[in-house]
Amino acid sequence: MMSTLRNVALWLERRLHLTKLWEQTAGHPVPASSGSWFYTFGSMTLTCFAIQIVTGIFLAMAYVPSAAESYHSLELLNYSIPLGWVLRGIHFWGSTCMVIVMMLHMTQVFLWGAYKYPRELTWMTGCVLLVVTLGLAFSGQVMRFDSDAYWGVGIGASVAGRIPVIGEALVQILLGGPIIATNALSRFFSLHVFILPGALLAFLGVHLRLVLGKGINEPPKPGVLVKRETYEKHYGEIIKREGVPFVPAAINKDIVASGVLILVIVGLALFVGPNGPGTPANPTIEIADAKPDTPFLWLFALAALLPNGSEPYLFFVFPTVASLLLFLLPFITNEGEKHWRRRPVAVAIVVLSYLGIGLLTYEAITGPWSPHMDAWSGLPIKAEYVKERTPLELQGAVVFQEMQCRNCHAIAGEGGHRGPDLTRVATRMTNPQLVRQVIQGGGNMPAYGRNLSPEQVRALVAYLCSLHPANVPPAREAVGVLKPIGESQPTPSPTPVPVAVKGEK
Amino acid sequence: MASDDPHEDSAHEMPKYDYSATRRDFMLKLGIGINAIAGALVGIPIIGFFVSSIVKANQPTWVSLGSIDQFPENTTRMAVFLNPYRTQADGTTANVPCWVKRENGENFTVFAINCAHLGCPVRWFEQSKLFLCPCHGGAYYEDGSRAAGPPPRGLFVYEHKIEKSELNIKAGLLPTLANPA
């Protein structure tokens, strides 16, 4: 029996040369010291990709890539097809985790100086893989084709429409037609299911071939510099001294980390569940809060926070320069120190990038620049901010609420955060200043002069002037005597304009 | 193990041979030629298909929003029309909304719903007479002009005409900065 098995194995070996293949791939020599937890992120990314392919294939059996049917097919997956919701959950969380561990992998490679000579091309193909993965994440969000996805495509089209000369053509190519409809979904479907996974597999092949060909980076030691003339010999000596076959000697931690990652992904899928679909993609429901998925929130936040007119820089100059810098990094610093302790600039870049992206993502989640669209009708002013007010001030509170001021201005933290919180506004601004601000606007506030009657302005400002703590006096004019309009003018001015002029003195 | 295989080491050793100006060489060049033509014949339709949306681009066309009587004077209301270039698979996305403002008589302005900043849907607030965008806080006045926030211009305006007391607009394209309605 044993000899028969041995003969079958030998027969296969003579035809497939598996031993040779094994020695050149899974069993290739790596430095024993590279069997570290820090070296597991690459295989974790690969694990995520494998999960995405498998779950993606099965999801495609139920998903219908048509604007009329996609939403329904997702609901079927969520509620009718047995375990469809689990597959959707695993696919969604697998995607999120893939982006995260890929970023960690990249950070580790950057901090360990692994991109330097002779592994430039490994880094560059890695950069392409990052872009493709982000493309998959974005097109995957479009597959949901709910209201978020619909307006997300709209944002994509608007960005493309800002490109000079070719903008219009690019919008039509992106949408596959004149408007966001089923052709747009189909184009993103092709991208998500055929083009990008194909590209990913192709570049992954090159990436892994390079990892095998150039060897895994040895954990750097401070003071040991990379030199083009001597590095290959140096690496050869390391392998001679402490080389072990990747399988089975160095893969142990990769297997543990990948296993835990799969458990985390499945756990998230089971206990948090799949993402959406949200409101159906019906453009006539204008109560939409179009936000991209997590990996793109920081860009969304930048679009809101950067000054007007910076969009061309944000959408074209910044991505082009950033990806060029990233792509060409191995040629900017090709030799020298690898250890992060001797590379303060590299450490600073990592810390600042993580802080920046983290803070921007937080900002995007809280979205302080977006008006709180329902605050005026859904958030009553708390009693303590209306009690013991005069009838005029109470009328002002009504104006404040009815004119949607709450959508942008919070009182006691409740309401929109687009404009300043007005809980203590009377301590900062005087009556004439408030009148001017309400009527003329400015500082990113619309002018209400045309939409408010003088009586409404007087009541509103009277109410705003009552918004100060009992122990803090309201603000006063620094120069001259200006009587509050509410008290000094028995008859309202015929038009709001003279009031504004008076307030400006 | 590898030495068990007598073919392994010699498998890639070949005799030197001059291929130039032989029948083999001719067939190779012929093969490349035929496949270049075949490649073009396959490639041109593929590229043509991919860019057909711009080569045979749909131009905006007149669409009716219905009788002008449904828009009272001095109001701004949402109107929904069917995308003139819809297909059966478009579902609800074939419904395109817009904001119709009727000042008096036959004095209309029809705004696109898409914010001029990044295309999100703006919402009309009757009381404060403002259009507000939920994405990045763009705000527009009643007449569509920019009031606040990041939009680089006012709301996109559809061309309109009134025929037999029906309001018609020229629509069918997603309004963007490259193609403002």
- Answer yes or no: do B4 and A160 touch at CB < 8 A: no
Could you give the CA distance from residue B34 to residue B26 in angstroms, rounded to a whole number?
A: 12
> What are the tokens at A460?
């509103």
Would the pLDDT of A494 be above 50? no
Convert the pLDDT of each residue in A224-251 to its tens digit.
Answer: 999 999 999 999 999 999 999 998 889 9
> What are the tokens at A55?
């779950």
Instruction: Look at B62 and B176; give whichever has higher pLDDT.
Output: B62
Could you give the CA distance from residue A448 to residue A351 in angstroms, rounded to a whole number?
A: 44
Residue A35 is predicted with a pLDDT of 86
Convert the pLDDT of each residue in B65-113 to its tens digit.
Answer: 999 999 998 899 999 999 888 889 998 899 999 999 998 888 899 999 9
Range from A107-116, A222-231, A258-267, A490-499 carrying the lowest mean pLDDT: A490-499
Residue A388 is predicted with a pLDDT of 87
Give B-chain residues touching A178 at CB under 8 angstroms: 53, 57-58, 85, 172-174
Q: Which of B2, B128, B178 sits opposite A20 (nearest CB)?
A: B2
Count of helices and strands (H, E) across chain B: 2, 11
> How would residue A480 be classed by pLDDT, with cut points 50, 70 and 90?
low
Which residues on adjacent β-strands are paired with residue B121?
B114
> How would residue A503 be classed by pLDDT, with cut points 50, 70 and 90?
very low
- Answer yes or no: do A66 and B125 touch at CB < 8 A: no
> How would residue A86 be classed by pLDDT, with cut points 50, 70 and 90?
very high
Q: How far is A22 from chain B (nearest CA, A)?
A: 13
Residue type, A224: V
Could you give the CA distance from residue B15 to residue B21 in angstroms, rounded to a whole number?
A: 18
Burial (0-12, 13-18, 19+ Cβ within 10 Å), A440: middle
Could you give the CA distance from residue B5 to residue A177 in angstroms, rounded to a whole number?
A: 60
Q: Where are the alpha helices (DSSP H) in A310-407?
A: 311-312, 318-332, 344-366, 375-378, 391-402
Convert the pLDDT of each residue in A32-71 to its tens digit.
Answer: 988 899 999 999 999 999 999 999 999 999 999 999 999 9
Could you give the CA distance from residue A459 to residue A397 in angstroms, rounded to a whole number?
A: 8
Q: Which of B2, B85, B92 sits opposite A178 (nearest CB)?
A: B85
List the single best residue of A158, A173, A460 to mutate versus B (max B Cβ within 10 A): A158
* Angle formed by the axes of helices A182-190 and A167-175, nearest 10°: 80
Could you give the CA distance from residue A289 to residue B132 in angstroms, rounded to a whole number?
A: 12
Would the pLDDT of A286 be above 80? no
Mean pLDDT (chain B) is 86
Residue A82 is predicted with a pLDDT of 95
Could you give the CA distance from residue A222 to residue A290 in angstroms, rounded to a whole number?
A: 48
Q: What 3 state SS string does A150-208 have? A: HHHHHHHHHHHHCCCCCHHHHHHHHHCCCCCCHHHHHHHHHHHHHHHHHHHHHHHHHHH
| Predicted structure pTM score | 0.86
Q: Which of A71, A369, A405 sits opposite B137 (nearest CB)?
A: A369
Query: Which range is most confident: A194-208, A295-309, A380-394, A467-481?
Result: A194-208
The continuous run of DSSP H or E covering B89 comes out as none
The continuous run of DSSP H or E covering B46 comes out as helix B23-50
Mean pLDDT (chain A) is 89
Convert the pLDDT of each residue in A371-417 to its tens digit.
Answer: 888 888 888 888 888 888 999 999 999 999 988 898 889 888 888 88
Percent of chain A clearing pLDDT 90 (strictly above)? 59
Residue B3 is predicted with a pLDDT of 46
Chain pair A-B, CB pairs under 8 angstroms: 216
Give A-chain residues touching B51 at CB under 8 angstroms: 173
- Answer yes or no: do B137 and A408 touch at CB < 8 A: yes
Could you give the CA distance from residue A359 to residue A365 in angstroms, rounded to a whole number?
A: 10
Radius of gyration of chain B (CA): 31
What distances in angstroms separate CA A297 from CA A28, A172, A276, A392, B149, one per listed residue? 40, 25, 17, 44, 19
> How would residue B53 be classed by pLDDT, with cut points 50, 70 and 90?
confident
Give B-chain residues touching A20 at CB under 8 angstroms: 2
Q: What 3 state SS string does A265-303 have? A: HHHHHHHCCCCCCCCECCCCCCCCCCCCCHHHHHHHHHH
Could you give the CA distance from residue B42 to residue A107 in angstroms, rounded to a whole number?
A: 43
Nearest CA among A373, A147, A293 for reference residue B97: A147
Neighbours of A301 (CB within 10 A): 23
Could you give the CA distance from residue A64 to residue A72 in angstroms, rounded to a whole number?
A: 9
Q: Do residues A63 and A73 lie in contact, with contact meaning Cβ atoms separated by under 8 Å? A: yes
SS3 label, residue A337: strand
Give B-chain residues touching A281 at CB under 8 angstroms: 91-93
Convert the pLDDT of each residue in B122-147 to its tens digit.
Answer: 999 988 889 988 888 888 999 999 98
